[in-house]
Amino acid sequence: MHHHHLSNSYFQKAQELIPGGVNSPVRACKSVGCDPIFIEKGEGCRLYDVDGNQYIDYVCSWGPMIIGHAHPKVRAAIAEALASGTSFGAPTWREVALAQKIVELVPSIEQVRLVNSGTEATMSAIRLARGYTGRKKILKFDGCYHGHADSFLVKAGSGLATLGIPGSPGVPEEIVSNTLAVPFNDLEVLKTVLDREGDEIAAIVVEPVPANMGVVLPREDFLPKLREWTEEKGIVLIFDEVITGFRLAPGGAQEYFQVMPDLTCLGKIIGGGLPVGAYGGKQEIMEKIAPVGPVYQAGTLSGNPLATAAGLATLEVLSRPGFYEVLEERAEALGNGLVEIAGKHGVTCCLQRKGSMMTTFFGQRGPVVDFEAALKSDTDLYARFFRHMLEEGVYLAPSQFEAGFVSMAHGWDVIEETLMDAESVFKNLA
């Protein structure tokens, strides 16, 4: 039996000083009925908490740690940058190197602007799309999360769903009235909306493989139709690849599905565990950004030396030949193993996976095609699963509506160890 004395006492103190004791709501673990664990360190695929317990980590900082924690190459790159100073507010060569790498890897990006988070990337991308088209409205899909900027806080997936918040106070009606939200994967509804008000829509923004309502797969014609229809209507198509970028392939979901958006938002993996985001796309659109064009967007710490060093080192490791093939094999083995074990013990659940990201929707036979379907999951059963797995030393996302991530640091032995832990947990769940 693990004990969490120190975690609990830190959390007590944290709750006095920080709202809810956490700096991002999903960390609170409320929906799975426990208190958060305070992490002391990470190494490879493992986390160590302040009480000396260790866990196999499938949260991977919610996506960024695709080559594992404290990777020697990333540490060396940060150390090298650190010795030369941490911020100048003037251009540095690493920004150019990272931009070059992004343009090489992501097929639709011709120019890119670095920012400090995924939220900044999506927020800036819609400002750009609005400035470029001269239109006001944007369209998103229910259950997709695009950061916490005002315009996006409409049916925004996990964080809000887990806490049971429909939207957010503090976001003026006038702002969200320009955000249309339609069900993911539903081309009929989308067509109706586009026929009615397509000419007023600046951008459609989509997670090409949603991961913030749990992993949901796009139906085969969904992304191609999005591309076709936005082109017809002069709407900027934005892929929010903050999770799928460098996750599904070096070039993200656009490479994986061979559908090219006009703009792409990146985050998480490109920072290698430090705060970085980016948005990029066609030069014709990107040139509308200041100082070349009139659309304003700026950042004191954007392109920070430490962050770009960590990002560059991470992208170098993951663009080695065979990286994604190996990752796929391990994720597939884990996914298939979990399905087999659940079946054997008669636990009803539906595992959805794309590459190294997956979600097990409890109490569902599936497929889970949209947010409404995801919300039918048995969250109490998920909470029990989460707590038992934690007790076995497996750290999962503290919410049914999130993705689990496999990293290159999850070796075959670790996958096997996880499946053995799952075996005893599923036996108890049934």
Which residue ranges make up the site for ligand PLP (CB under 6 A)? Answer: 117-119, 122, 145-147, 207, 212, 240, 242-243, 267, 277
User: Pick the catalytic residue: 58, 145, 256, 324?
Assistant: 145
Minimum Å gap between C-beta 116 and ligand PLP is 8
User: Is residue 140 among the annotated active site residues?
Assistant: no
Strands (E), 116-229: 137-141, 179-182, 201-206
Which residues neighbour 4 within 8 Å (Cβ) at sequence distance 6 or greater? 35, 37, 49, 51, 53
Q: Which of 256, 270, 262, 160 is nearest to 209 (CA)?
A: 256
Q: What is the DSSP letter of 185?
A: T
Contact of 261 with 238, CB cutoff 8 Å:
yes
Strands (E), 168-313: 179-182, 201-206, 236-240, 263-266, 277-281
Structure tokens at 21: 């004791």
User: Pick the catalytic residue: 268, 324, 354, 382?
Assistant: 268
261 vs 277, beta carbon nearer ligand PLP: 277
Contact of 263 with 279, CB cutoff 8 Å:
yes
Comparing every residue's Cβ against ligand PLP, the nearest one is 118
Minimum Å gap between C-beta 118 and ligand PLP is 2
Alpha-carbon distance 191 to 194, whole Å?
A: 5
Minimum Å gap between C-beta 321 and ligand PLP is 27
44 vs 273, beta carbon nearer ligand PLP: 273
- The angle, 0 to 180 degrees and rounded to 10, between the axes of the packed helices 222-233 and 187-197 is 0
63 vs 337, beta carbon nearer ligand PLP: 63
User: Is residue 268 among the annotated active site residues?
Assistant: yes
Minimum Å gap between C-beta 241 and ligand PLP is 8
150 vs 197, beta carbon nearer ligand PLP: 150
User: Pick the catalytic residue: 57, 240, 262, 370?
Assistant: 240
Which residues neighbour 249 within 8 Å (Cβ) at sequence distance 6 or greater? 255, 256, 324, 355
Which residues neighbour 114 within 8 Å (Cβ) at sequence distance 6 or greater? 95, 98, 99, 276, 277, 278, 299, 302, 303, 308
Minimum Å gap between C-beta 122 and ligand PLP is 5
User: Is residue 324 among the annotated active site residues?
Assistant: no
What residues are labeled active site? 145, 240, 268
